[in-house]
Amino acid sequence: MYNSLIFDADGVLMDSMPCHADAWIHTFSEVDIDIVRQDIYDIEGSNHVGVIKLIFERAGREANSELIEKLRVRKRELFLKKRNIAPFKGMYDLLKELKEKFHLAVVSGSDRPIVDSMLNEFYPDIFEVIITGADVTNGKPDPEPYLKAIEILGAKKDSCLVIENAPLGVDSAKDAGLFCVAVATYVTAEKLKKADIIFPDHAPLMEFLAGLETEDQVQ
């Protein structure tokens, strides 16, 4: 039985990754690095610093701390300016019901202003704990983000269920010793094969979550 559910944000709660990817494409083009959306989808889950380092590494280049910060701020600026996102249909109503039985948390690789803007607008007063990419030293696929979430929740690992949609996020959850279900939102199911359960889309995922039971009601 679980008493805590921990959600990734982009791709699980929000249909937002195309907007993230487009902001990254624009940002990297300003330093003469060309990428496509799938390049970002494949490394989704990493925090902004991690994304920059990975893309520069693939381009055979290095980015110093000053440039990393410049690109991180620029990407965030572009995302917030052109924010074309929406919650997945039915997810808010489901989470309102789940909140009556479970402790709910978010673990996202995005920066705090981005995560807060999304959750405040589309999921107000739902989550007890919110961990962003700026709140950890090592982002996904490192287990630190999920370990920090369960520490703040005061939960045991075997009482937590993670909901992910990104390969690096699945790696993070599994390396933290957590049960992880994944939904193939922007990548193929094959890339999520380390997850304990994989759903092809949100309909069966939400049906699964709605059917979860817990021994103890949240007080």
107-129 per-position pLDDT tens digit? 999 889 999 999 999 999 999 99
Percent residues over pLDDT 90 in the chain? 89
Instruction: Output phi, psi for 14, to 5 deg.
Output: -125, 140
Answer whether residue 216 shows pLDDT above 60. no
Whether the Cβ atoms of residue 17 and residue 44 lie closer than 8 Å to each other: yes
Domain with CATH 1.10.150.240 in the chain: 17-81
| Cβ neighbours, 10 Å, residue 178 | 24
Domain with CATH 3.40.50.1000 in the chain: 4-16+85-210
- Assign domain 17-81 one CATH number from 1.10.150.240, 3.90.550.10, 3.40.50.880, 2.130.10.10: 1.10.150.240
Q: CA 88, CA 122: separation in Å to the nearest integer?
A: 10
The third-level CATH classification (topology) of the domain covering 4-16+85-210 is Rossmann fold (3.40.50)
Distances (CA, A) of 11 to 32, 156, 215: 28, 26, 29
Q: What is the CA radius of gyration of the chain?
A: 17
Torsion sign across C-alpha atoms 153, 156, 162, 167: positive
Q: How confident is the model at residue 39 (pLDDT cuts 50, 70, 90)?
A: very high
Q: What is the pLDDT of residues 66-106, one digit of tens each?
A: 999 999 999 999 998 887 899 999 999 999 999 999 999 99
Return the H-helix or E-strand segment holding 105: strand 103-107
pTM over 0.75: yes
